[in-house]
Structure 1
C-alpha cells in the first residue's frame, strides 16, 4: 500500500477546512505535489490511499475536482465523527427550506446568500458552495452570530459552532450522521481542549484531549497501523504541522519526502534538516529546491516536475479564433497601460485575437478599481470590438460565444481555481506578466501544450521553444506575433511541451521513485 498524506491545512486553524462559500475568497490550491503523484501512481494500477487529516465536510466536492474516487481516500474526521458507513440517503437537509425554521420566518434572496428575517430582524444567513450545495447556516441574535450549522456535502449537519454573547467562538460540536455530537472542541478563552461524548468514548483512548492535534494523530496512527508491511510506502508532503509525528509512527514503512515549490521555501529549517535524516527518498518539483535540499542529506534528492493530468491538448488548433489567456494577478497597476496598449496594438492588426483577462481578486472594492482602470484603457482604443466586457465564472466556459460579433475583450473574476481548466480548453497562448509568475499557470500551460509569454525565464519556460520571454511590454507584442502569426512556432511549442511531459511519464517516474526503496 502507498499512503499519500497531503498538507491541505488551514492557516489559522490547522485541522479545519479551507473551503469557503462560493461568494468568499477561496484558498486556491487545488493541485500540488501529492495530488499529482497520487494520480500518477493510481493510473499505473498501484494500490493507493490518500489520508486527509483535517476536517473537511466538503471533501467529496474537493476530491471530485481532483478526479479522485471516494474509495481511494480516507478522512481522519470521518473516523472521529463515526461517519465511515454513512450513506447519502441518511442526509437530513439537501436544501435550506428543509431546515427546521421557526414559524413566520421570511427569506430574501441576495446575490451572495439567502437571508432569513423573523419579526423584522435578521435571524439567519444561508450560504452555498461552488456547485450550489448548502454550505452553512448562521443564526443571529441581536445582529451577532449565535450558532453556525456546517453541512457535509453528503447532505447532513456535520458540526455546530456555538458563539458566546459577544459573537466570538465558544465551542464546536462535531456530529455523526444522526446529529449526535461525538467530540466538542473549545476555543480560547474557554480552553483549547477537546471533550469526547460519553457515548463515543469506547472508540477513543481518552475522554479528554489537551488539543485537537493529539486526537488527530491518535486516529492517524490507527490508520497507518492497520497495515504494516515492509513494502508499504508513505508519500509525505513536507509540512511542520505533521512531518515529525508521522515519521515517529511510520514503523516499517518507507517514506518518500516530498517538497513543493508552491508550499515549501528554499530556507531549510533545522527541523527539516533533521527530518531529512529519517526518510528513504526525497523529491522536489524544481531544480533550485532540489539543490537546496541536497546540501542537507546523503539521500539523492530527485527532481520530479508536476503536470496536471486533468488537462489535455484542448481544441484551440481546430478554431479560427485565437484566444489569449492573460493572468492579471501579480501585474502592477502602474504597468497596465503599457502592457495592454501593446496587446491592443496586436489585436488591431490581427482581428482573430480574443483576449480573456483573468483575475482571482475577491475584494469587491479592488475589483471595481481594476474594472475602472481597464475600462479606461480599452475605451481609449476607440474600437467597439475592443471595449472591456465582463463575464462571471458561471458563464466563462461559453464566453467566446457570448462576445462573438461584439467585443473581443473580456474581464473574468473567478472564484474557483478549477475553472482554469475550462478556460484553457480553447486557449492558444497564455500571458503572465507578473514579476513572480504563477506556478500553477506554468504547470497548466505545459500540461495542455500551450505556449506562454512571461517576463522572466525559468526552468519551466524556454525562450522561443515552449514560451517567450518578454521583459518589456513591447516584448509581449513580439511574443504574440511569434506564436500567432503562423503555426510553425506554435507547433514547435506544442512539441516541446509534449516532450517535457513524456520525460516524466508515469512509467519513468515510478521506476525512478521506486529505485532504492
Structure 2
C-alpha cells in the first residue's frame, strides 16, 4: 500500500486538481494499486474537495478529523437560513462576493463568509476594542475551530471542537497547546509545544510505521510543514513540484538522509546535481507528474492559426522584447492569432506594451475616445470588408461636423482587426479544450508548466519553452527558447513549414507513449520497490 500525504494548504493559488500528488493518487487508483491519503493539515472542506477532484471513493485519513472525533459523524452544510442570527442586525450582501456584512446601528458587528453564497464557512465577530473572534465551520456544518485575534492582528487564543461542540484542546497566548481533561486519555501528554507533535503522535498511533510514504513538498513552505518528511516510514519519498527551490531541497537532503527525492523532470535533477555536486546520490530520481492522453487537436479545421502564449513572472523588459518580436509577425499575417494567459501583472504589462506598439506603428490610440466610439458602435470584425464598415459609419454614425476623415477611419479599422489578433484568455476558458484548436504553445515562465506541456503533447501541438524541459526534443516537437529574439524564427519553423509541423506530430506521438500513465506508474514502482 502507498500512503500519500498531500499538501493542500501551500498550493500557492494553484488549482488542487493540478497538484502532482492528486494526479498520482488518481493514477494509482485507476490502476487498482492500493493507495491511501493522509491529510495532516486542517481542511474544513475536505469532503467537498475530494468529491470535486474525483477522489471521493479513495481511502483517506485526516489527522484533525481524528483529533476532533469527526470520523463516523455525518452532517449537512450550515446555511444562512439555518444560522442563528440575533435581532437588530442589518445584513448587507456584497454583489459578486461570498460575503455578508451585518451592522447594528451602522456599526459592523459580524461578517459571514459563505460558499456558493449560501453555505457558512466563517463567521467573524468584530469587538468594540478592535479584536475579532473567528468561528470556522466544516462542510459538514460543524463548528470546528475558534480563533481570537487582537487589535494588532495577532492570534491570542485558539480552540478545537468535536462535532458535538466539546472542547478537545486549545492554544494559549504563549502558543502552548493544552488538552482538555475530558479527552486526556487519548493523548500521551497534557501539553504540547506545537501542533506538529500532536499530529505526529496521532499519525504513529494510526499508521505505526507504514512501508511506503510519499509526501508532497512545496517551494517556500513554512518550516513547520516540513515535519511530514520526518514521519516514521520504511521508505519516505518527497514528491517535488516544478517550482521547487533547489537550495531548500539541498538543506533538507542533508538534514533528512533517509528521504528519497523525486523531481518532476530530469532537467531539474541534472541542475541540482551540478549545483550541489550530488551525482552519486542514489536518493535522487525524476518522474513526470502528469500522464499523457491521446487526444490529437483539430487546428487544421480552423482558418486562423492560433498560438497559445502563457506568460508568467516576466520582467517589463522581457515582455517588451517579446511584444516587439511577435507583433510584426501578426501585422504581416492576419491569420495568426495569439491566445494569451498568465499572471495578472504579466497580462497587464502585455496589454500596455501592445497598446504602445499600436500607437507607435499604426498611429492609433486604442484608448482614445474617437477610436473607442467607432469600434464600439460599429464593430469592425462584424463586417466582411473595410468598405462595408466605412459605409455603415458614414450612414449610421458619422456626425456632419466630425473631425475624422476616411483615412482616420481606415486606420481605426485596421488597428481594431489587428488588436483582435491579440486575445486574452479568461481563467474559466483556460483549460485543456484550448489545445484542441491551437497550432503552437509558447511557455514563457519562471519554470516549465509541465501540465500544459503534457496537454500540448497529448494534442500533438509543438512547444516553445523558455525554461529547459524533458518534454521537448529540439527541432522535432519544439524548441528551447534561449533568447526572445529567436522567437519569430522558431514560430516560423512550425507555422510556415507543414513538414516540420507534421514531424512535430509524429514526435509527439512517441512522447505520448513515453509519458503515458502505465509508464509513470512503472517508474514509481521502481522508486518504491528499490529506492
Give the TM-score of the pair, scaled to structure 1: 0.75
Q: Are the counterparts in 1 of residues 148 and 155 from structure 2 also a CA contact under 8 Å?
A: yes
Secondary structure of 1:37's match?
helix
Correspondence list, 1:47-196, <5 A: 47-64=34-51, 66-87=53-74, 90-94=75-79, 96-103=80-87, 104-112=89-97, 113-128=99-114, 134-142=120-128, 144=130, 146-186=132-172, 190-196=173-179
- The structure whose residues are more often helix, as a share, is 2
In structure 1, how many angstroms separate the alpha carbons of the residues matched to 2:361 and 2:142?
A: 53
| Residue 121 (structure 1) shift | 1.9
Aligned equivalent of 2:195: 212
Any idea what the Cα deviations from partners look like across 1:203-238, whole Å, max 9, x if unmatched? 33333322101111112112323x86xxx4222345
Any idea what the Cα deviations from partners look like across 1:421-446, whole Å, max 9, x if unmatched? 45545444222334655455445544
Aligned equivalent of 2:423: 410
Q: Structure 1 residues 63, 450: CA separation in 2 closer, same or farther (over 3 Å shift)?
A: farther
In structure 2, how many angstroms separate the alpha carbons of the residues matched to 1:27 and 1:77?
A: 23
Q: Are the counterparts in 2 of residues 284 and 303 from structure 1 also a CA contact under 8 Å?
A: yes
Aligned equivalent of 2:256: 275
Q: Structure 1 residues 179, 238: CA separation in 2 closer, same or farther (over 3 Å shift)?
A: same
CA RMSD, Structure 1 to Structure 2 (Å): 4.1
Any idea what the Cα deviations from partners look like across 1:128-163, whole Å, max 9, x if unmatched? 568986543333234945122333234444322222
Q: Structure 1 residues 320, 27: CA separation in 2 closer, same or farther (over 3 Å shift)?
A: same
Aligned equivalent of 2:266: 287
In structure 2, how many angstroms separate the alpha carbons of the residues matched to 1:29 and 1:409?
A: 30
Q: Are the counterparts in 1 of residues 305 and 438 from structure 2 also a CA contact under 8 Å?
A: yes
| Residue 482 (structure 1) shift | 3.0
Q: Does 1:479 align with 2:463?
A: no
Aligned match for 1:453, one of 449, 455, 464: 464
| Residue 46 (structure 1) shift | 0.4
Secondary structure of 1:69's match?
coil
Q: Does 1:31 align with 2:18?
A: yes
In structure 2, how many angstroms separate the alpha carbons of the residues matched to 1:410 and 1:152?
A: 40
Correspondence list, 1:118-517, <5 A: 118-128=104-114, 134-142=120-128, 144=130, 146-186=132-172, 190-225=173-208, 232-237=211-216, 241=224, 247=230, 249-250=232-233, 253-265=234-246, 269=250, 271-273=252-254, 275-276=256-257, 278=258, 282-291=261-270, 292=272, 295=278, 299=282, 301-308=284-291, 313=296, 316=299, 318-361=301-344, 371-378=351-358, 382=362, 405=382, 407-412=420-425, 414=427, 419-421=430-432, 423-424=434-435, 426-434=437-445, 436-438=447-449, 440-446=451-457, 448-455=459-466, 457-485=468-496, 487-515=498-526, 516-517=529-530
Secondary structure of 1:139's match?
strand
Q: Structure 1 residues 57, 369: CA separation in 2 closer, same or farther (over 3 Å shift)?
A: same
Secondary structure of 1:496's match?
helix
Q: Structure 1 residues 375, 69: CA separation in 2 closer, same or farther (over 3 Å shift)?
A: farther
Q: Are the counterparts in 2 of residues 41 and 506 from structure 1 also a CA contact under 8 Å?
A: no
Give the TM-score of the pair, scaled to structure 2: 0.74
In structure 2, how many angstroms separate the alpha carbons of the residues matched to 1:247 and 1:132?
A: 40
In structure 2, how many angstroms separate the alpha carbons of the residues matched to 1:215 and 1:309?
A: 40
Deviates more, 1:128-137 or 1:485-494: 128-137
| Residue 47 (structure 1) shift | 0.8
Which structure: larger Rg?
2
Secondary structure of 1:302's match?
strand
